[in-house]
Structure formats: C-alpha cells, structure tokens
Structure 1
Amino acid sequence: MDDVKTTKLLIQKLRDNGWSKLKTDVLSFCAKHGVKTPDFASKFYPADFEEQEREILRCQLRHYEHDILVHPKFQNLTTISELCQQLAATGKNDDYHLIDRLIRLVLTLPVSTATTERAFSAMKLVKTRLRNKMDDGFLRDCLVTYIEKEIAVGISTDAIIDEFDEAPRRVDFN
C-alpha cells in the first residue's frame, strides 16, 4: 500500500508541475497533422517525463514532422498500433524514443488503469474488517493471487505443498 501511495503522490506532482505544457504541444501537433488523439480524461495519468525529456520530446516532434510524415513506409498506416510496429520495424523507435514511449503509453493506458481499478476492488474484498491488521506483504500476496485468478487456477494444490515442503524451514513439519 505504501507503493501505491507514493506512486499517486508522484503522479499528482507531475500533473501539477508540467504535464499540461507537454500535453498541449502533443495535442497541437496531432491536430495540425490530422492525428486522432484519445480523450485525456482526468483519471488517466501520463508516464513520468522529466523536464529535460520534455524538451527532447519537443525536438523529436519537430524532426518527426519532417521525417516520418513523408517517409514512404509510414504513408498507409491507419492505427496507432501500426505506427508503433512500423517505428520498431524501421528502427525509427531509436531515433524517436520518447515519441515511441508516448505511443506505447497511449496503447497500454486502458490496460494499466483497468488493472489498478481491479486491484483496488480486490483490496476491498480481501482486506475486510476481520483482516484489517494484516501487514503489507501478506496483503500484497493475497491480492496477487486474487487478481491473477487465471494464472492461479493453473497451479495445483499439490504443487504448492511440494514447493513449500522443499523450502528450507527452521522447523520440520514431518
């Protein structure tokens, strides 16, 4: 829970001190060139770009505008996913690494927010009034098992017992 708390504080700090300028630059670039952009609702958070990275991103966007938009391999792309794949295939993701990161954030944002929301919902179910005094490590272990049910279903009880039995213990359970 401490990790979640500090992550929320860092994201809020980014929102308060500089994300708006970067977002404005990216949105104006996209509008100028007819690129569809997702709705940046207030519940979505950007990745942590440092001030120096934001300046480099502005420079990369200027080069990108004159390079990628006229490059023949990028002419018939219709989705952001295709753009990301073509950047990797041509090696341009190294030249425009911050743009590549921004594109990947847009592609993974729905998944990351869904996972976070699922984790908080699971926490409400796992950490009940009767279990209120469990420490963070045990809570984290319970939540991982609960959230990743699809993976946990594939693990047999016998495999868990065998793994537990093979681990070195201070006391022998036999």
Structure 2
Amino acid sequence: MFGPINDVLDAIAVNTCFEEKCRAKGCLKACLTFEIVFMLHFMCTILAITNELNTTFQRKEQDIANAMILVGVSKNRLQVLRDNGWNSLIDEVSKFCTKYDLLTPNFDELYVILGRSRWRIAKYTILHHYRVEVFYKIIDWQLQELNNRFDEVTIDLFLGIACLNLVESFSSFEMEKILKLAELYPDDFDKHSMVDLHSQLENYIIDVRDHDKRFSNLKGLSYFSKKLVEAKKHRTYPLLFRLVKFALLLPVTTATVEKTLSAMKLIKSDL
C-alpha cells in the first residue's frame, strides 16, 4: 500500500485547501524517509513473530498449553532476530528504498538527532543508531515484556489451569502440574491439604473419565464446575472444587484490572 498511499497524499497536497495541503505535505515528507521505511519493515517483522501468540490469547476458548508453547516460540524467534536478523532486515529495507527511489543514508556518517541543528550531531554513527538504539532496544523491550508477563510462576499457573480442563476426555490432565498450581495458594492448601488433594485427584480422574459419563463432552472449565455441583461431586472432592473455583476467578481478576486501567485513561489529560 506504500505507493498508493503516497499517490493519495500527493493528490491531497495539490488539490485541496491550504490546511489539508500542509498536513498532506508533512505526512508525505515523513513517508519518504529511510527512518519511516525502516520502522515499518521492522515493526512488521516484530508483529509477525508475536501475531499467533496474540491471536491465541484473544480467542474465547483459550488453549493455554499451546499458548505457553507460543510464548517460548516468540521468545526464541525474537532472540534469533536479534542475533541474526539485522543484515536481512537492512537488505529488505534497502531494496524497498531502491524500488521507490528513496535516499539510503551512509551508515558510517554521524547520526543527526531529530530536531537539533545540523551542527549538533550525536557522538555515534547512523549504523549505531539503527542497530543499537532501535533494533536491539526494541527487541529487548519485547523480550522483557514477555518475561515480565510470563514468568515461571505465571506459566505454572496457566499450565495448572490447562490440566484441570476436561477437553478431549481429560487428555491434558497432569497431576504434578495441578499440584504445583495448588502450591501457589499456600493460605488455602497447607501441607496436609496437599496430601489430601493428591489422593482426591487420583480418585477424581478415574471417576469422571472412566465411570461417570455425565462428564463427557463438556465444553470447558465453567461447565465442568457446574456439573460437579449438579452431580454433588463438589462434596466428594472439595479441595479439587476449591482449585477449580480459583482457576475460574483468574480471568475475572485480570479483566477487572484491565477495565480499571481503561477507565483511568478516560480521566487522564495532558494537564
């Protein structure tokens, strides 16, 4: 769309009122710079790496186990891009600039900081600016964000919840991961409760998977929770039921925080 966008901006800059001409000329001038072309290609690469992860978390029915795998995939691909992706990115940007007759800078020259006078130049080269200050820094920000959001505790939490899910006849059931999930709630599961939970899990999986056909073909954890109550098995497996309730509360807690932050944006101002 780069060519058509520039054609439209060029037409606006010629055939419209003065204010729109000025805005269109400013946008057109920005579009025809190496910096904009570089950032467009670079961010397209970054977003392509994290696209599947983002899409997975936006689905109503989340496959948490695969989502955690995609977290690792995104981290690995970002690291590979950081280590080996610079030359291919620059080649791609240079070909694009050649196609549209855009000026490619001399990377050995000193970088001129935007908004400063020509004689107030930076103490590093253009190559250093794009490779270190932009390329490395943005990838490091992405990796840091993924590490902060998906640390070891969070991953254990998500994987434990995934193991509670009864999709495909409890194929994802793993007792060790569920017990590790319970360990994240020490106020509710002390060492004695953990022993009881282990015993309940052993009975529960044989009960609902092999004997009680009422628990087949349920769509998710919320349906499973309702079915436990309807079958009065929440009394038989009280510790398991408590863990299921904690798992169901997590999305609500996350949504509440996000809604609060969104509400804060509405009352924020420059002042």
TM-score, with length taken from structure 1: 0.43
Larger Cα Rg: Structure 1 or Structure 2?
2
Higher RCO (C-alpha under 8 Å, 6+ residues apart): 1
Which one has a larger percent helix, Structure 1 or Structure 2?
2
TM-score, with length taken from structure 2: 0.30
